[in-house]
């Protein structure tokens, strides 16, 4: 009975304590409290990603004008040792006195095992007909910490999105096959009798090949994307402004292509070594050791 009496006393005390609590009405959060909230970002990765089938994308302009990308194929290999430690990330960071920036960052891919494969058939249509361009194939595309950033302009009254971007990329092969894709896993597929091949494309910082080339800096040399109207004509505007940080030189990039070759179904070329007729013409290495984008201003509009 003592145990029962003790339990009843505890229940009564708990009930009384709950009854003494005063209900408080919900109140809105102040703007200062909301502004103080900062997210840590979003991280994600892809495993066994593959896209194939009859997926097509078509952009249509005026009557008869269109661009088709057909039978899109896209896949990526994995790095099992860095599945969760080297993800894609979306995060938000603040700049003193300026608008916040949204940043997308690709995996650092230190081991080089994250490799993308891509293929598509493409066509371009005009009022007078359709041009079948054949197939476009990309093999072993590896990105190393590429990033893209967007923010709102710091100049009052400017309606636009400003952006920054940095790229370090290696591509095993980029193939243009006007007579069809054939075997997209083989850069020298016998059935691809005609093709233009860019072998070993490397894009990086001009000085440090292990670092990305900064195309545009969202703070000191931002890119811009918006719509403008001049003399009654509307344009889509893409540009990169002048560098405003005199203490930092505009970053230079390097592009290296290990080999460029043309392949024909006839022996219409002369081999530069043997001087014999050949079906493949190798142009050798092509490179741009250093290049800068000091200023860029592109306006695009639909022609008549």
The string of pLDDT tens digits covering residues 95-143 is 999 999 999 999 999 999 999 999 999 999 988 889 999 999 999 999 9
**Residue 38 domain-assigned (yes or no):** no
Question: Which residues make beta-bridge pairs with 229?
Answer: 234
In a domain, 3, yes or no: no
Evaluate whether residue 20 is within a structural domain.
no
Q: In which domain, by residue range, is 58 found?
A: 43-300
Core vs surface per residue 209-237: b (16+ CB within 10 A) or e: eeebbbbbbbebbbbbeeeeeeeeeeeeb
What does the pLDDT read at residue 43?
81
Whether the per-residue pLDDT at 45 is higher than 70: the answer is yes
- pLDDT class of 38 with cuts at 50, 70, 90: low
With respect to residue 190, please indicate whether it lies within any of the assigned structural domains: yes
For residue 167, being part of any structural domain is answered with yes
Question: Helix, strand, coil proportions of the chain in percent (round to 5)?
Answer: 10, 50, 40
How much is the pTM? 0.81
**Pairwise CA distance, residues 32 & 25, whole Å:** 20
Please count the other Cβ atoms lying within 10 Å of the Cβ belonging to residue 86: 19
Q: How many CB atoms are closer than 10 A to CB 15?
A: 10
Around Cβ 158, how many Cβ atoms within 10 Å? 11
Residue 290 lies in a domain: yes
Closest CA to 265 of 210, 205, 190: 190
Distances (CA, A) of 116 to 126, 134, 174: 32, 21, 12
Q: How many domains does the chain have?
A: 1
Specify if 60 maps to a domain: yes
Q: Is residue 31 part of a domain?
A: no
| pLDDT over 90 at 30, yes or no | no
């Amino acid at each position: 009975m003592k145990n029962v009496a003790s339990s009843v006393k505890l229940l009564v005390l708990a009930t009384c304590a709950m009854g003494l609590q005063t209900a408080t009405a919900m109140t809105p959060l102040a703007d200062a409290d909301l502004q103080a909230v900062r997210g840590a970002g979003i991280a994600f990765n892809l495993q066994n990603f593959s896209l194939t089938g009859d997926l097509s994308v078509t952009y249509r302009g005026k009557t008869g004008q269109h661009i088709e990308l057909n039978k899109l194929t896209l896949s990526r290999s994995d790095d099992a040792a860095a599945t969760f430690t080297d993800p894609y990330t979306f995060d938000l960071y603040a700049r003193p006195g300026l608008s916040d920036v949204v940043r997308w960052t690709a995996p650092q891919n230190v081991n080089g095992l994250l490799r993308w494969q891509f293929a598509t058939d493409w066509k371009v249509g005009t009022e007078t007909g359709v041009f079948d361009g054949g197939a476009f194939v990309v093999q072993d595309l590896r990105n190393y910490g590429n990033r893209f950033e967007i923010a709102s302009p710091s100049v009052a009254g400017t309606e636009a999105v400003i952006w920054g971007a940095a790229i370090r990329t290696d591509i095993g092969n980029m193939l243009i096959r006007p007579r069809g894709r054939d075997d997209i896993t083989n850069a020298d597929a016998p059935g691809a009798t005609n093709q233009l091949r860019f072998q070993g494309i490397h894009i990086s910082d001009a000085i440090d090949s292990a670092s990305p080339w900064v195309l545009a800096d969202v703070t000191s040399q931002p890119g811009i994307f918006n719509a403008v109207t001049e003399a009654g004509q509307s344009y889509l505007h893409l540009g990169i402004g002048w560098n405003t940080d005199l203490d930092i030189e505009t970053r230079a990039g390097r592009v290296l292509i290990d080999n460029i070759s043309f392949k024909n179904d006839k022996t219409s070329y002369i081999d530069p070594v043997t001087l014999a007729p050949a079906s493949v013409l190798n142009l050798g290495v092509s490179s741009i050791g250093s290049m800068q984008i000091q200023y860029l201003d592109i306006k695009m509009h639909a022609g008549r």
